[in-house]
Chain A
């Protein structure tokens, strides 16, 4: 078992290095770090916070900064992982990989870890530097628990996207289809998720013209459990002051996070098990 885990880890690290050294990372990493740092810096300055947003503590700043994670860090996963499987399949390297005496499930884990670690590096740097910038702006450090929660939730979010992206990459017949599937999924969850939420609310008789009502809020939270970004936001909300806490219990949010971890991971493992190179 130890040997297996070690092999998975070393192959994953090898792939991570490949992603980190890639040309696209040269563009993505500074962008991710800059955007996350700028978000923390700007949102921690009460003079420039947009009207309507209440920022009282470093936890509030971290919560609002998480919106930028949803935009840029998830996009970095899509751009790093879209050809992880499809390109190797096209070049014939996947056939060589799969002919090695490493089980296919172990291979799948190493692929997931490889992309996930590569995406986590700039995001983690951005979050840590961002925390330092919050301290500089507000004179208070974010609490260890808040920072940990931010990192864990972000790690989970990026894992979910890694699974979805690699699943798309393994199903695509060419690199173009792989990009389309990945970006399509990203667009759906980032920009279009409000549409299914409105449809569900409408069908349940909730007034969708008043998105600030309690009834709509509750429906939105429930539908958010079916979106990775929604679960991420709910996880982040659990760290906020009691007035801003979600209506759903922490248990159901964490259960949803676990399901989001298990389902796409299993789907990808199964996909690799049955994949023809």
Chain B
């Protein structure tokens, strides 16, 4: 099995040395899909529809950025704009200081959502074709097929591939040519849990080597363990960005702590802290979720509970995507249900 270290050269390393530079910059980026609005004498007339508006974003080297938001928020559109697939109506996009389309695309590896790879042909042929388009050695493609676990399926017809295998092939395609920026749209869809774990490890390795990664996903739980920073989109705009805890704090969400231990449970966890029992893990005698009305759980608070107290778990629990979306959009999740769609009003 090939390793990413063997495929990526040392010249790409940057994040590992602790410095980070802007790899991709979007300034006031706007793109809206044209929507048909036939008029009596102009049946082909269109008006600007949903899309993204006024996006300012800087992606640093070695950063994993999670892109989250409700359906139609503009996540995939933003990725396509970054990948130079959609032209900007307004604003600028530069990758490593260059704005030419081909140079930008050379630095970017893009994995669209759910590519179905219907063939005809096999994985080797599909990758070889892309290697030609990238002007890179075909052996690089073969190494990547090994890396994503398709090394022994390279000659199988694409129509026999499962969705997970197709996702792996899409990932190999995105990694071709050692891109400095990876744009991944729902990359974990269809992958089995083991492959998801391997995928997360691979992305972390790439980030450590200086590759910037942008992942769009609907589930914070997948991204939480992976992303360094998040961008929350709604109505085609960025409504919040930064590390998750910072977003939660900025949105005024209550911090939640998961705490568990041995012995007699504490009678009180402090003023303004609401405790709720949660299921125990093996060997634990008590476990609670602590909801902090304000502030953070500090070392001092912990010592106030008693020095003899033995903790087996003490970690912060993010508020979760629904809560974050609810806070950012002002919508009540329980009332809204499926009605939350983030598309921009056509005449907005």
Question: Are B134 and A101 in contact (CB-based, < 8 A)?
Answer: yes
Q: Tell me the bound Cα distance from A196 to B120 in angstroms.
A: 40
Question: Are B130 and A96 in contact (CB-based, < 8 A)?
Answer: yes
Q: Tell me the bound Cα distance from A242 to B68 in angstroms.
A: 74
Question: Are A18 and B120 in contact (CB-based, < 8 A)?
Answer: yes
User: How many cross-chain pairs have Cβ atoms below 8 Å apart between A and B?
Assistant: 84
Q: Tell me the bound Cα distance from A21 to B101 in angstroms.
A: 34
Check if A176 is an interface residue, CB within 8 A of chain B.
no
Question: Are B105 and A14 in contact (CB-based, < 8 A)?
Answer: no
A99-125 interface code vs B (CB 8 A; 1 in, 0 out):
111110001000000000000000000
Contacts of B80 in A (CB 8 A): 95, 277
B67-108 interface code vs A (CB 8 A; 1 in, 0 out):
000000000000010011111000000000000011101101
Check if B163 is an interface residue, CB within 8 A of chain A.
no
With A91-B118, A96-B112 in contact, is A102–B85 under 8 Å at CB?
A: no
With A96-B173, A97-B133 in contact, is A22–B120 under 8 Å at CB?
A: yes
Chain B positions 245-284 with a Cβ under 8 Å from a chain A Cβ: none
Question: Are B133 and A102 in contact (CB-based, < 8 A)?
Answer: yes
Residues of B in contact (CB 8 Å), total 38
Contacts of A22 in B (CB 8 A): 120
Chain A positions 83-103 with a Cβ under 8 Å from a chain B Cβ: 87, 90-93, 95-103
Chain A min CB distance to B123 (Å): 13
Of A3, A21, A92, which one neighbours B115 at CB under 8 angstroms?
Answer: A92
Chain B contacts to A: CB under 8 angstroms: 33, 80, 83-87, 101-103, 105-106, 108-118, 120-121, 125-126, 128-130, 132-135, 170, 173-174, 177
5 shortest interchain CB distances as A-B pairs:
A92-B115, A101-B106, A99-B110, A100-B133, A101-B105
A5-42 interface code vs B (CB 8 A; 1 in, 0 out):
00100110011001001110000000000000000000
Of A21, A90, A97, A101, which one neighbours B102 at CB under 8 angstroms?
Answer: A101
Question: Are B117 and A93 in contact (CB-based, < 8 A)?
Answer: yes
Q: Tell me the bound Cα distance from A21 to B134 in angstroms.
A: 24
Of A18, A21, A87, A92, which one neighbours B114 at CB under 8 angstroms?
Answer: A92
Question: Are B133 and A11 in contact (CB-based, < 8 A)?
Answer: yes
Question: Are B83 and A99 in contact (CB-based, < 8 A)?
Answer: yes
Of A7, A14, A21, A96, which one neighbours B110 at CB under 8 angstroms?
Answer: A96
With A7-B133, A7-B135, A277-B85 in contact, is A99–B108 under 8 Å at CB?
A: yes
Q: Tell me the bound Cα distance from A87 to B116 in angstroms.
A: 10
List 14 extra interface pairs beyond A97-B133, A99-B110, A101-B105, CB under 8 A.
A3-B135, A7-B132, A7-B135, A87-B118, A93-B117, A96-B111, A99-B108, A100-B130, A100-B134, A101-B102, A101-B133, A103-B101, A274-B87, A276-B85
Q: For A107, give the chain B residue with the smallest CB separation.
A: B133
With A18-B120, A18-B121, A277-B85 in contact, is A92–B112 under 8 Å at CB?
A: yes
Q: Tell me the bound Cα distance from A250 to B135 in angstroms.
A: 43
Contacts of B106 in A (CB 8 A): 101
Name 22 A/B residue pairs within 8 A (Cβ), A-sorted: A3-B135, A7-B132, A7-B133, A10-B132, A11-B132, A18-B120, A21-B121, A22-B120, A87-B118, A91-B116, A95-B80, A95-B115, A97-B133, A98-B85, A99-B84, A99-B85, A100-B105, A100-B130, A100-B133, A101-B103, A101-B135, A276-B33
Chain B min CB distance to A82 (Å): 15
Q: Tell me the bound Cα distance from A97 to B173 in angstroms.
A: 10
Of A14, A21, A98, which one neighbours B129 at CB under 8 angstroms?
Answer: A14
Chain B min CB distance to A254 (Å): 35
Question: Are A99 and B132 in contact (CB-based, < 8 A)?
Answer: no
In the complex, which of the residues B106, B118, B133 has the most CB atoms of chain A within 10 Å of its own CB atom? B133
Q: Tell me the bound Cα distance from A102 to B105 in angstroms.
A: 8
Q: For A10, give the chain B residue with the smallest CB separation.
A: B132
Contacts of B83 in A (CB 8 A): 95, 99
In the complex, which of the residues B103, B118, B126 has the most CB atoms of chain A within 10 Å of its own CB atom? B118
Chain B min CB distance to A78 (Å): 18
Contacts of B86 in A (CB 8 A): 276
Q: Tell me the bound Cα distance from A98 to B101 in angstroms.
A: 11
Question: Are A95 and B85 in contact (CB-based, < 8 A)?
Answer: yes
Contacts of A10 in B (CB 8 A): 132
Chain B min CB distance to A99 (Å): 4
Q: Tell me the bound Cα distance from A107 to B84 in angstroms.
A: 15
Q: Tell me the bound Cα distance from A100 to B101 in angstroms.
A: 10
